[in-house]
């Protein structure tokens, strides 16, 4: 069974295609939404009393998400994040991050979740991510995400977390910030020296590279026209959701399985970016996912 913890946020987004105010977001929300199309997923998260009712309705509309680990903290404020995309939507500036309950005591992992085997630690404070691992002794694989904020303000906690996980998913600029190396393969290798068995370095619209102790693999992004890219927020989390959910349904964690799972992550991310908030990934269904996967396979044929 797959489990995720991370942020559940209220996002404000500005970009070349328009703006959206106070939409449902957060790393764990995007992950769970994308993953739930492929496999059931357990969510452990924390919001404040200000969490909008329609955000709960949105999360509940994904049938595969078990929300019994979602806590509303009395007196707490929900995580809020604002971002602005440049004309080139690979570039994003964070306008504000209000951590709110993310700085509080983390939510408890329900006892019924303790048998989870596939664990994803979506973006959050690395000490919170590490704490979650202690509650999941039956894990077969633990993968974490991280981002610039945590590399900058919680570097030592992050380095310690990396000694405890099997894999890490991060984007190219974050890999460079963490390792001081621009080349993604070399940066990936440096990350493996810090502990994990594999690193997936994402390169926005240019796809992703898997650097694993057993080999290296590359995957293109799903080629999207302008009209299909409204808001890239959550693309990384949705990628991770598709990837981990595919591993969970395969029941495997070897190099070939991880390589195969990259395609499912790519396809799920391509739904997320088509609208603000969770609307894009909400619109996906079994038929549209299968259709996009077959288009993607055809695009990547080699030999
Ligand atoms: P992505 O576009 O995949 O990097 O994910 C963006 C999502 O992550 C947004 O919905 C934000 O609410 C959330 N987010 C932004 N900054 C952070 C952070 N420092 N820690 C955890 N989640 C974050």
* Mean pLDDT per 10-residue interval, the chain, length 303 residues: 97 96 97 98 98 97 96 98 94 95 94 97 95 96 96 97 98 96 97 98 94 97 89 97 98 98 97 97 97 92 80
- Taking the centre of ligand 1 as the mean of its atom positions, its distance from the CA of residue 247, in whole angstroms, is 23
Selection from 43, 49, 87, 93 nearest residue 68 by Cα? 43
Strands, E, within the chain: which ranges? 2-5, 9-15, 18-25, 41-48, 65-73, 79-85, 92-98, 118-121, 141-145, 167-171, 198-202, 208-212, 215-219
Selection from 130, 127, 149, 151 nearest residue 139 by Cα? 130
Report the pLDDT value the prediction gives residue 300, as an integer from 0 to 100: 79
Report the pLDDT value the prediction gives residue 228, as an integer from 0 to 100: 86
Give this prediction's pTM. Answer: 0.97
Report the pLDDT value the prediction gives residue 3, as an integer from 0 to 100: 98
Report the pLDDT value the prediction gives residue 303, as an integer from 0 to 100: 78
The structure tokens listed for 66 are 């078990």
* Cβ density class 116-134: b for 16+ within 10 Å, e for less: bbbbbbbbbbbebbbbbbe
Report the pLDDT value the prediction gives residue 204, as an integer from 0 to 100: 87
Is residue 241 within 6 Å of ligand 1 at its C-beta?
no
Task: Give the C-alpha separation, 127 to 161, whole Å.
Answer: 7
- Taking the centre of ligand 1 as the mean of its atom positions, its distance from the CA of residue 180, in whole angstroms, is 22
Report the pLDDT value the prediction gives residue 225, as an integer from 0 to 100: 87
Report the pLDDT value the prediction gives residue 24, as an integer from 0 to 100: 97
The minimum-distance atom of ligand 1 relative to the CA of 97 is 16
Is residue 81 classed as helix, strand or coil in its secondary structure? Answer: strand
Report the pLDDT value the prediction gives residue 67, as an integer from 0 to 100: 98
Residue among 6, 7, 242 whose CB has most ligand 1 atoms within 8 A, to mutate: 7
DSSP 75: T
Parallel, antiparallel or unpaired: strands 167-171 and 141-145: parallel
The minimum-distance atom of ligand 1 relative to the CA of 149 is 19
- Taking the centre of ligand 1 as the mean of its atom positions, its distance from the CA of residue 27, in whole angstroms, is 5
């Amino acid at each position: 069974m797959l489990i995720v913890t991370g942020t559940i946020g209220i996002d404000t987004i500005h970009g070349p295609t328009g703006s959206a105010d106070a939409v449902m977001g957060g790393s764990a929300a995007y992950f769970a939404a994308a993953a739930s199309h492929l496999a059931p997923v357990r969510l452990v998260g924390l919001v404040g009393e200000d969490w909008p009712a329609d955000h709960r309705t949105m999360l509940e509309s994904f049938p595969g998400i078990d929300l019994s680990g979602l806590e509303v903290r009395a007196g707490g404020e929900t995580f809020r994040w604002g971002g602005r995309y440049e004309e080139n939507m690979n570039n994003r500036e964070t306008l504000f991050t209000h951590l709110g309950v993310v700085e509080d005591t983390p939510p408890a992992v329900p006892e019924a979740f303790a048998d989870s085997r596939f664990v994803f630690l979506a973006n959050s404070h690395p000490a919170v991510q590490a704490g979650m691992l202690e509650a999941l002794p039956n894990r077969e694989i633990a993968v974490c995400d991280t981002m610039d904020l945590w590399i900058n303000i919680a570097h030592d906690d992050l380095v310690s977390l990396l000694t405890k996980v099997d894999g890490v998913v991060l984007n190219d600029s974050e890999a460079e910030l963490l390792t001081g190396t621009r080349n993604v393969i070399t940066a990936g290798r440096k990350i493996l020296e810090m502990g994990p068995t594999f690193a997936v370095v994402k390169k926005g619209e240019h796809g992703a590279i898997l650097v694993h102790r057993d080999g290296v693999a590359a995957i293109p992004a799903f080629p999207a026209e302008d009209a299909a890219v409204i808001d890239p927020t959550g693309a990384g989390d949705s990628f991770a959701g598709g990837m981990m959910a595919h591993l969970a349904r395969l029941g495997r964690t070897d190099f070939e399985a991880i390589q195969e799972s990259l395609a499912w992550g790519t396809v799920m991310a391509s739904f997320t970016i088509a609208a603000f908030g969770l609307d894009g990934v909400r619109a996906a269904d079994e038929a549209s996912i299968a259709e996009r996967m077959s288009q993607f396979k055809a695009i990547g044929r080699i030999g």
